[in-house]
């Protein structure tokens, strides 16, 4: 802890010029966003869930320069900012967030340790379907903010896809692929065998032709006898 604070303070003093130049540079290079605060709701920010179930609204934050008084907020159908589910503040990397929950059935389950500000939404109803926004604002990055959305679709029951046809197609395709592979393997093996045999034959031919060459060299060209001593 103490080591860290002594390290971050000089860095902190360095930030303004460093930030300004890197911002300018990054604006040209277009890489600034990889350094700034980011809120992440996952690779597939979409979930279909049955009414009455409990869902996790996932959100993580990331910032290369670290956080300080990070404010975060979960809201629903963002058109109305009062549709807050939950918000909170995280003082620094070592402090657990102070959170306020504004809606029944919402439970904060995040933690600073894994930079997680996810919430659980208990016993969902059809009215819960919509777009959830995870918003973050980092004081350490001069109030830079970012948000990510997560779409929840509430369904009566999860669609049971009739897999029979898929299975048939899959096994047909699988069988075909298997046959093809057998064929390819067999073909390759045969080709390999032929190649091996040819190689052997070639070896025989080469050695015999080598002898032939020396014999020829004796009778004619000068280049061939030069080659054969090298081989030996
Ligand atoms: C989901 O909604 C359907 C239709 O409104 C209802 O019949 C069913 O009981 C609900 N399921 C749960 C788990 O609440
Ligand atoms: C969710 O529903 C169950 C059963 O209906 C109930 O026991 C539980 O208290 C509910 N949880 C919340 C957070 O509303
Ligand atoms: C956030 O924390 C919750 C509760 O521990 C966990 O279920 C969830 O997987 C975490 N989310 C991510 C993105 O790590
Ligand atoms: C939230 O938005 C979705 C579509 O984005 C809409 O279908 C739903 O009715 C909205 N819910 C509320 C409570 O405004
Ligand atoms: C979320 O970010 C987009 C741009 O990425 C911005 O247009 C929008 O206003 C932001 N929403 C909030 C609530 O800050």
The pLDDT assigned to 98 comes to 97
Which of 33-42, 89-98, 209-218 comes out lowest in average pLDDT? 209-218
Question: Is the pLDDT confidence value at 150 over 80?
Answer: yes
Nearest to 61 by CA among 147, 152, 149: 147
More confident residue, 142 or 22: 142
Question: Is the pLDDT confidence value at 225 over 70?
Answer: no
Grade residue 7 by pLDDT with cuts at 50, 70 and 90. Answer: very low
Ligand 2 pocket check for 122: Cβ under 6 Å: yes
pLDDT tens, 77-101? Answer: 976 667 899 999 999 999 999 999 9
More confident residue, 182 or 64: 64
Q: Are 118 and 132 in contact (CB under 8 A)?
A: no
| Cα(74) to centroid(ligand 5), Å | 13
Nearest to 43 by CA among 22, 66, 60, 27: 60
105-117 mean pLDDT? 96
Nearest to 124 by CA among 52, 17, 69, 196: 52
CA dihedral 221, 223, 229, 230 (to 10 degrees): -160
Across the chain, what does the average pLDDT equal? Answer: 77
Q: Cβ neighbours of residue 145 under 8 Å, at least 6 residues apart? A: 37, 135, 136, 137, 138
Instruction: Report the SS3 class of residue 99.
Output: strand
Alpha-carbon distances of 9 from 3, 72, 131, 156, 170, rounded to whole Å: 10, 24, 40, 54, 61
pTM of the model as a whole? 0.64
The pLDDT assigned to 14 comes to 46
| Cα(54) to centroid(ligand 2), Å | 9
| Cα(156) to centroid(ligand 1), Å | 6
Closest residue (by CA) to atom 4 of ligand 1? 156
Other C-beta atoms closer than 10 Å to the C-beta of 232 total 4
Question: Is the pLDDT confidence value at 112 over 60?
Answer: yes
Strands of the chain (E only): list them. Answer: 38-40, 46-50, 55-57, 60-62, 70-76, 84-90, 98-101, 106-108, 119-121, 130-138, 144-155
The pLDDT assigned to 17 comes to 52
Q: Closest ligand to 105 CA?
A: 2
């Amino acid at each position: 802890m103490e080591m860290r604070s002594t390290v971050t303070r000089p860095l902190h003093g360095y930030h303004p010029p460093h930030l300004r130049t890197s911002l300018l540079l990054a604006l040209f290079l277009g890489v600034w966003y990889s350094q700034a605060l980011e809120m992440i709701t996952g690779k597939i920010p979409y979930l279909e869930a049955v009414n009455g179930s409990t869902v996790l609204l996932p959100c993580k934050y990331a910032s290369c320069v670290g956080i300080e008084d990070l404010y975060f907020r979960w809201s629903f159908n963002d058109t109305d900012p009062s549709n807050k589910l939950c918000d909170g503040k995280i003082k620094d990397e070592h402090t657990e967030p102070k959170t306020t929950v504004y809606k029944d059935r919402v439970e904060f389950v995040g933690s600073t340790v894994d930079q997680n500000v996810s919430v659980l939404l208990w016993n969902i109803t059809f009215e819960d379907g919509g777009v959830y926004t995870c918003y973050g604002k980092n004081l350490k990055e001069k109030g830079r903010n970012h948000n990510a959305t997560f779409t929840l679709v509430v369904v009566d029951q999860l669609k049971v896809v009739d897999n029979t046809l898929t299975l048939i197609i899959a096994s047909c395709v699988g069988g075909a692929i298997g046959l093809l592979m057998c064929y390819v393997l067999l073909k390759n093996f045969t080709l390999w065998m032929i190649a091996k045999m040819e190689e052997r034959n070639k070896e025989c031919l080469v050695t015999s032709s080598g002898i032939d060459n020396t014999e020829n060299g004796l009778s004619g060209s000068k280049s061939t006898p030069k080659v054969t001593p090298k081989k030996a």
